[in-house]
C-alpha cells in the first residue's frame, strides 16, 4: 500500500510536482526499498526516452484555409448539438416518477390483500396462532387466579405482590395478539380486550393502595374472564 | 489580432493531440467558431485571460474530436506519424532512426489506447509542460484527478517500452 503511494509520487517527482517534504520522503523511501528504486530508475529512463523521441516539429497549417473556414463558420447560426434525448429532460423525469407510482400501486395490490394480517402473510399459520393464544392464556392464569382468590383478610398481610416485569411482558404479548387476531376471532378479541383492562389495572396498582386488588377481582368476575378462557381453550 | 496571437498555440496542441494536420486544422477552426458564438460567456471581470479561455475551448474541442473519431484516429495517426519520421530523419544513423521510429510508434500506439482525457493530460503535462494546477483548471477537474490520470497514462506507456529499453541496454553493453 505504501509502495503504491510512492510509485504514484515517482512520476510527480520526475515532473517536479512534489514539494520539499514529499521529495525528501520519497528519496528516503527509495533508498530503503529496492523495488521502488528499480521503478524510479526505470521511470526516469522512460522519461528520457520520451524526451529523446519527442514528436517531430509541428507542420505548418494551411492558415488561409483555416481562416476561411472560421469566417464561414461564424456566419452560420450555431447548430444545436444533437441531444440524446428526444424530449426535454423534465418529461423523462416526470415519466419515471409516474411509472414508479404505477408500479408501486401494482406491487401493493399483488402483495397486500386488505383484511389479511401482514403478520399472517409473513408466515404465521393459524395453528401457530392458536397455540400462542393458548400459551398466553396459560401464562395469564396464575396472575388472574391470584387476584380472583384475593380476600379481605389478606389486607392485613399487605397486598398481592407480582413482579411488574411479568405484568409488563404479559401486557405486551396481549397487545400483540390482539392486533394479530383483530377481526379474525371475535371471542378471542373480546377476551384479550378484557384481559388488557385487567392487566393495566394491575400494572398501575400501587402497594399502598389496598383497595385495588378487590377492584381487580371484581373486574375479573364481572367480565367472566375465566369462563371466556375456558371456552376458547375448548375450541 | 486574436487569431494571429493564438492560432499557433492551439494548432500545436491540436496536432500533438491528434497527430494529424487536417484534424488539427478542424480543431483550430472549431475553437474559434465556438469562441465567437460563446463570447457572451467570457467574463472579463472574472480575471480570466482571453488566451487561456480560448485554450480551454481548444482543449475541449480536441477531446470532443478525438472521441468522435476514435476509430478513424487509430489508422490515420499511425500512418501519419510514420510518414513524418521517415521524411525527417534522413541524415541520422539508420539503426538509430529505426529505434526512434519504433519507440515513437509504440508511444503513439499506447497514446491511442488511452482515454481522450488521459491522453490530453499526458500531452499537456509532458509536451506542453503545464503544471498540474493549470491542467486541472483547463479541464475543470481536481488536481487529484489529474494526478491519477497522469499516473495511469505514464504507467500505460511504461509497460510496452520495457522490452525496447532492455534491448537498448544490451546493445549499449555490447558497445
In a domain, A60, yes or no: no
pLDDT of residue A81: 58
Count CA within 13 A, CB hemisphere, residue A154. Answer: 15
Q: Work out the angle at residue A53's Cα, subtended by the Cα atoms of residues A52 and A59, and round it to the nearest 5 degrees.
A: 125
Residue B61 sits in the same domain as residue B15:
yes
If asked whether residues A141 and A204 sit together in one domain, one would say yes
Domain boundaries, position B41 = 1-68
Q: Is B29 found in the same domain as B16?
A: yes
Lowest mean pLDDT among A212-216, B98-102, B140-144: B98-102
How many domains are contained in chain A? 3
Tally of domains within chain B: 3
* A105 and A19 part of one domain: no
Residues B60, B86 within the same domain: no
Question: Of the candidates A46, A54, A62, which has its C-beta nearest B158's C-beta?
Answer: A46
Same domain? For A134 and A104 the reply is no
User: Is A58 inside a domain boundary?
Assistant: no
A35 reaches B (C-beta below 8 A): no
Residues A174 and A227 in one domain: yes
In-domain check, residue A112: yes
Which of A61, A62, A80 would you mutate first to test chain B, the one with the most B CBs within 10 A? A61
Same domain, A218 and A138: yes
Q: Is A70 inside a domain boundary?
A: no
The number of beta carbons lying within 10 Å of the beta carbon of residue B152 is 17
What three-state secondary structure class fits A28?
helix
Q: Is the pLDDT of residue B88 over 70?
A: no
Do residues A153 and A106 both lie within one domain?
no
**Per mean pLDDT, which range of A36-50, A180-194, B84-98, B126-140 is the poorest?**
B84-98
Same domain, A45 and A99: no
pLDDT tens column, A82-127: 566 677 778 888 899 999 999 888 888 776 665 555 555 455 567 7
Residues B127, B161, single domain; the answer is yes
Q: Out of A27-31, A169-173, B19-23, B84-88, which region has the weakest mean confidence (pLDDT)? A: B84-88
Residues B38 and B82 in one domain: no
For residue A173, give its domain range: 124-234
* CB contact residues (below 8 A), chain A span 36-65, against chain B: 42-43, 45-46, 49-50, 52-59, 61-63, 65
Own/partner contacts of B58-61, CB < 8 Å, gap of 24 or more, are B58/B9, B58/B10, B58/B13, B58/B14, B58/B27, B58/B28, B58/B31, B59/B13, B59/B120, B59/B124, B59/B138, B59/B139, B61/B14, B61/B27, B61/B30, B61/B31, B61/B34
Same domain for B45 and B89, yes or no, is no
B132, B148, B162: residue with CB nearest A17:
B132
In the prediction, which pLDDT does A149 show? 85
Q: Are B21 and A66 within 8 A, CB to CB?
A: no
B37 and B51 fall within a common domain: yes
Are both A202 and A221 inside the same structural domain? yes
Does residue B146 share a domain with residue B86? Answer: no
Q: Are residues B40 and B78 in the same domain?
A: no
Q: Are residues B22 and B63 in the same domain?
A: yes
Assigned domain for A62 exists: no
Whether A20 maps to a domain, the answer reads: yes
Chain A residues whose CB is inside 8 A of the B102 CB are none
For residue A85, being part of any structural domain is answered with no
Residue where a domain terminates, one of A21, A36, A52: A52
Do A56 and B127 make contact, defined as CB atoms within 8 angstroms? Answer: no
**Mean pLDDT across chain B, nearest whole number?**
78
Question: What per-residue confidence (pLDDT) applies to B175?
Answer: 44
Residues A133/A181, Cβ–Cβ less than 8 Å: yes
pLDDT over 80 (residue B53): yes
Residues A111 and A147 in one domain: no
Residue with the larger pLDDT of the pair A185 and B84: A185
Contact A42 B162 (CB under 8 A): yes
Amino acid at each position: 500500500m505504501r509502495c503504491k503511494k510512492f510509485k504514484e509520487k515517482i512520476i510527480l517527482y520526475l515532473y517536479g510536482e512534489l514539494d520539499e517534504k514529499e521529495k525528501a520522503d520519497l528519496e528516503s523511501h527509495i533508498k530503503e526499498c529496492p523495488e521502488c528504486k528499480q521503478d524510479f530508475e526505470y521511470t526516469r529512463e522512460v522519461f528520457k526516452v520520451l524526451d529523446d523521441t519527442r514528436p517531430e516539429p509541428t507542420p505548418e497549417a494551411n492558415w488561409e484555409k483555416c481562416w476561411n473556414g472560421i469566417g464561414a463558420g461564424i456566419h452560420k447560426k450555431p447548430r444545436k448539438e444533437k441531444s440524446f434525448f428526444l424530449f426535454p429532460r423534465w418529461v423523462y423525469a416526470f415519466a419515471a416518477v409516474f411509472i414508479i407510482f404505477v408500479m408501486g400501486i401494482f406491487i401493493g395490490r399483488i402483495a397486500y390483500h386488505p383484511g389479511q394480517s401482514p403478520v399472517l402473510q409473513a408466515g404465521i399459520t393459524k395453528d401457530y396462532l392458536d397455540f400462542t393464544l393458548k400459551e398466553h392464556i396459560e401464562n395469564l392464569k396464575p396472575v388472574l387466579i391470584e387476584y380472583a382468590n384475593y380476600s379481605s383478610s389478606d389486607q392485613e398481610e399487605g397486598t398481592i405482590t407480582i413482579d411488574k416485569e411479568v405484568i409488563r411482558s404479559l401486557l405486551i404479548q396481549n397487545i400483540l395478539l390482539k392486533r394479530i387476531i383483530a377481526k379474525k376471532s371475535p371471542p378471542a378479541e373480546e377476551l384479550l380486550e378484557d384481559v388488557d383492562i385487567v392487566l393495566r389495572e394491575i400494572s398501575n396498582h400501587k402497594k399502598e393502595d389496598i383497595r385495588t386488588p378487590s377492584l381487580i377481582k371484581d373486574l375479573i368476575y364481572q367480565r367472566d374472564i375465566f369462563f371466556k378462557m375456558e371456552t376458547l381453550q375448548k375450541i | 489580432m486574436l487569431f494571429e496571437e493564438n492560432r499557433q498555440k492551439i494548432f500545436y496542441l491540436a496536432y500533438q493531440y491528434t497527430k494529424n494536420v487536417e484534424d488539427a486544422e478542424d480543431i483550430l477552426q472549431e475553437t474559434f467558431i465556438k469562441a465567437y458564438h460563446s463570447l457572451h460567456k467570457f467574463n472579463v471581470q472574472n480575471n480570466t485571460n482571453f488566451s487561456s479561455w480560448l485554450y480551454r475551448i481548444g482543449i475541449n474541442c480536441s477531446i470532443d474530436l478525438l472521441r468522435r473519431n476514435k476509430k478513424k484516429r487509430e489508422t490515420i495517426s499511425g500512418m501519419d506519424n510514420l510518414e513524418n519520421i521517415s521524411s525527417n530523419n534522413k541524415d541520422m544513423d539508420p539503426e538509430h532512426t529505426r529505434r526512434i521510429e519504433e519507440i515513437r510508434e509504440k508511444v503513439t500506439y499506447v497514446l491511442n489506447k488511452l482515454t481522450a482525457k488521459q491522453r490530453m493530460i499526458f500531452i499537456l503535462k509532458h509536451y506542453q509542460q503545464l503544471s498540474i494546477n493549470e491542467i486541472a483548471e483547463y479541464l475543470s477537474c481536481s488536481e487529484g484527478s489529474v494526478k491519477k490520470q497522469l499516473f495511469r497514462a505514464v504507467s500505460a506507456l511504461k509497460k510496452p517500452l520495457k522490452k525496447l529499453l532492455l534491448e537498448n541496454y544490451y546493445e549499449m553493453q555490447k558497445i
